[in-house]
Structure 1
Amino acid sequence: MTNELKNDLLLRAARGEQTERAPVWVMRQAGRYLPEFMEVRKSYDFFTMCRTPKVAAEVTMQPLRRFPLDAVIIFSDILVIPQALGMTVEMIPGKGPHFPEPLITPECMKKLTAKPDVKATLGYVSEAIKETKRQLDGQVPLIGFCGGPWTLMAYMVEGGGSKTFSKAKAWLYKYPVESLELLYMIADLSIDYLVEQVRAGANILQVFESWAGELTPVHFAKYSLPLLSHIASSVKTKLAAEGLTVVPMTVFAKGAHYALEDLAESPYDVIGLDWTMDPKEAIRRTGGKKTLQGNMDPCALYGSTETIAEVASDMVARFGGGKGRYIANMGHGMNPDHQPDHLGAFIAAVQGSSSK
């Protein structure tokens, strides 16, 4: 096994260096749209897949065997953090995550394990990363990740997904002090978790603040941005103090249009954009301070391969042609009913249009 990367395009782009073309990977690229994933899924429930390192490594590698991707992202889930805090999380087919005992009031926080042993509770993710790195043998970088504190709090309070997030948002108005206490509990665990991922071999980290767009700008500035910045600055400080590689970090605050300038001043190296954000406007508002990642509408993959190529090529052009501070991706993750060959068309179009 080698630690030398044969393809470091993603890392160079994340650091703001010049690149021959735009690196490309896709959120949820390991998952239900792949027949080979569904074949493995027949034998395991979702979280058993996450907790079984060889299985997690296998499904992490599956998309790379099909497509010339420039990175893989470890197969796991953002909800392993609430599990480590002591909450039960079930993944119900056709419905998604379910918390049988959500946090109804701050009194419920007493049931949480505030400072769990990261290696004991989440060590299986580190083992999956090590196994994946062994199989990668330096082909491409491996992305580690966690969920953003507000997003995880929302799941923990709502008990699952939600159309309104009214229960979680109500906490911010009714229990502002306790909300921050919970958010920092989540963030501090996430910091140690991300450091462990780098120790195991992750080359770059992403924080998914998937429900950022549910917050008002005032609440984002109070309950999300400081926590996200705390995670990035603390992870980098701890990595440096331990003599580990200070890896690039990406923040994906979906829907937080109002926060681009603030995110450009944060400790992150890369800002992920969803499909509703205009690339040229994002470049202008971030002032070239950060690498941008994104942001094709995932539903474009339902179009013909010709349409996909057209939309992807236009996206790359709008981000400046792909040579420099840009990482190509979707504006969100793959859908279960996407056709694999349509993802292939997207990747080919990005690599072709950005290498001219």
Structure 2
Amino acid sequence: MTAISSPKRRALIDAPLLDAATGKTPRRTPVWFMRQAGRSLPEYRAAREGIPMLDSCFMPELLAEITLQPVRRHDVDAAILFSDIVVPLKAAGLDIDIVPGRGPVLADPIRTAADVDKLPVLEGEVPEVLKGIGIILAELQPHQALIGFAGAPFTLASYLVEGGPSKNHEKTKAMMHAEPQVWHKLMQRLTPTIKTWLASQIDAGIDAMQLFDSWAGFLTERDYREFVLPYSTEILAETPGITEIPRIHFGVGTGELLGAMSEAGSDVMGVDWRVPLDQAAQRIHAASGAKVLQGNLDPAILFAGNDVVREETRRIKTEAAAAIDAGHATGHIFNLGHGVLPNTPAEAITEAVAIIHES
């Protein structure tokens, strides 16, 4: 890890997440949960009442409050910035909205080379988000990290081509194979926006980052390598300041892609609940060497009670330890295998964090 260069980045002290992410031995197993900022918390619902999702992402005090709520309540080892993967597209001027119960919806889907040419590119900072990051950093304790994030170019591209969420990604895959030049043109258009978005978060002082490729699991490894990997690699290598902080890479249903995804250059590989951590580590190690693992409790297990959570936690920690002992991994950050489910009892999350911290 290179020296800290952002004047806004804090000098964290005994921070379990950063220690694990950089191959050190943390004082306790670090844990944070994807989608911990919001969804399941009653205080989140109260804070956002009557405020559309995307609007809340551009309100500094509100996004800071929502980011901090799970840290205060659950004692997780990191906050993750409250935002959405389409925020940089919205900030660039794209007509996109988040429809309750559906997700991001685009007014005019991207289907042609001319559509790609009209896609706006983010060329500067998003001041509302940077102000929110400043508020968050002022409240976090010296051992609590702030994770920033961005959507990976494939997942963003799929939303743009499909016009919204898709079960099969048929229009996306059709463009890839029937009009590959248009597909690559779209990925080349998106990548600078993602780099600018991440670079501004890094300059504002985030302690780590995660690149979400939520829909990559719908691809074959062959298609991933040809149509996606070069762009994620560019982001993880060439975003200004990105090598100064731990880089996490995660996708859902990506067990068959773990090796290829690890070649994009992250320090930490997120693993969903479908693949045991020790097996995931073997696939990653064979492709790109040992990395830190993140994951991978099934989010549904939080509904099963403390005894089951404790048993599953023990299993996951054992798998991670076996991977480390075998030289296939260099550390472990505990997480769910995807995000917190919306109707998860808040108390169950708090209890799970305490169980994870027990040993």
TM-score (normalizing by structure 2): 0.90
**Which residue, out of 326, 337, 343, partners 2:332?**
326
Distance in 1 between residues matched to 2:341 and 2:263, nearest whole Å: 32
Distance in 2 between residues matched to 1:322 and 1:56, nearest whole Å: 37
* 1:24 aligned residue: 31
2:234 partner letter: H
* 1:342 aligned residue: 348
How does 1:185-334 map onto structure 2 within 5 Å?
185-235=189-239, 238-239=240-241, 246-287=244-285, 289-320=290-321, 325-334=331-340
How does 1:157-176 map onto structure 2 within 5 Å?
157-176=161-180
Distance in 2 between residues matched to 1:322 and 1:348, nearest whole Å: 24
Distance in 2 between residues matched to 1:2 and 1:97, nearest whole Å: 31
Distance in 2 between residues matched to 1:6 and 1:220, nearest whole Å: 38
2:314 partner letter: S
* Preserved CA contact (<8 Å) 1:86 1:111: no
Aligned-residue offset at 1:10 = 0.7
How does 1:116-155 map onto structure 2 within 5 Å?
116-119=122-125, 122-155=126-159
Distance in 2 between residues matched to 1:124 and 1:175, nearest whole Å: 37
1:283-334 CA deviation, whole Å, 9 max, x = no partner? Answer: 2222361101011111111212221222122111211179861000001001
* Preserved CA contact (<8 Å) 2:123 2:196: no
Distance in 2 between residues matched to 1:281 and 1:292, nearest whole Å: 11
1:272 partner letter: G
* Preserved CA contact (<8 Å) 1:22 1:322: no
**Which residue, out of 20, 36, 40, partners 1:33?**
40
Gaps (5+ residues) in structure 1? none
Aligned-residue offset at 1:110 = 2.9
* 1:74 aligned residue: 81
Distance in 2 between residues matched to 1:192 and 1:96, nearest whole Å: 24
* 2:106 aligned residue: 99
Distance in 2 between residues matched to 1:88 and 1:335, nearest whole Å: 28
Distance in 2 between residues matched to 1:138 and 1:16, nearest whole Å: 19
* Preserved CA contact (<8 Å) 2:221 2:257: yes
The question of 1:184 aligning with 2:185 is answered no
2:94 partner letter: M
More off after superposition, 251-260 vs 272-281:
251-260
Aligned-residue offset at 1:102 = 1.4
Distance in 2 between residues matched to 1:239 and 1:65, nearest whole Å: 29
How many pairs align? 344
Identity of aligned residues (%): 34
* Preserved CA contact (<8 Å) 1:81 1:186: no
* Preserved CA contact (<8 Å) 1:7 1:70: no
TM-score (normalizing by structure 1): 0.91
SS of residue matched to 2:241 = helix
Distance in 2 between residues matched to 1:152 and 1:343, nearest whole Å: 29
1:124-167 CA deviation, whole Å, 9 max, x = no partner? Answer: 22221111111225341100000000000000111111111111
Distance in 2 between residues matched to 1:8 and 1:224, nearest whole Å: 33
* Preserved CA contact (<8 Å) 1:195 1:239: yes
Aligned-residue offset at 1:224 = 1.6
More off after superposition, 37-46 vs 14-23:
14-23
Aligned-residue offset at 1:85 = 4.1
* Preserved CA contact (<8 Å) 2:112 2:182: no
2:252 partner letter: K
**Which residue, out of 36, 52, 67, partners 2:59?**
52
Residue 80 to residue 144, structure 1, CA distance change in 2 (3 Å)? same
Distance in 1 between residues matched to 2:292 and 2:46, nearest whole Å: 36
1:347 partner letter: V
SS of residue matched to 2:223 = helix
1:72 partner letter: A
More off after superposition, 1-10 vs 124-133:
1-10
1:209-250 CA deviation, whole Å, 9 max, x = no partner? Answer: 000111111110012211111101102xx328xxxx711101
Distance in 2 between residues matched to 1:116 and 1:195, nearest whole Å: 12
Distance in 1 between residues matched to 2:278 and 2:100, nearest whole Å: 39
Distance in 2 between residues matched to 1:268 and 1:261, nearest whole Å: 12
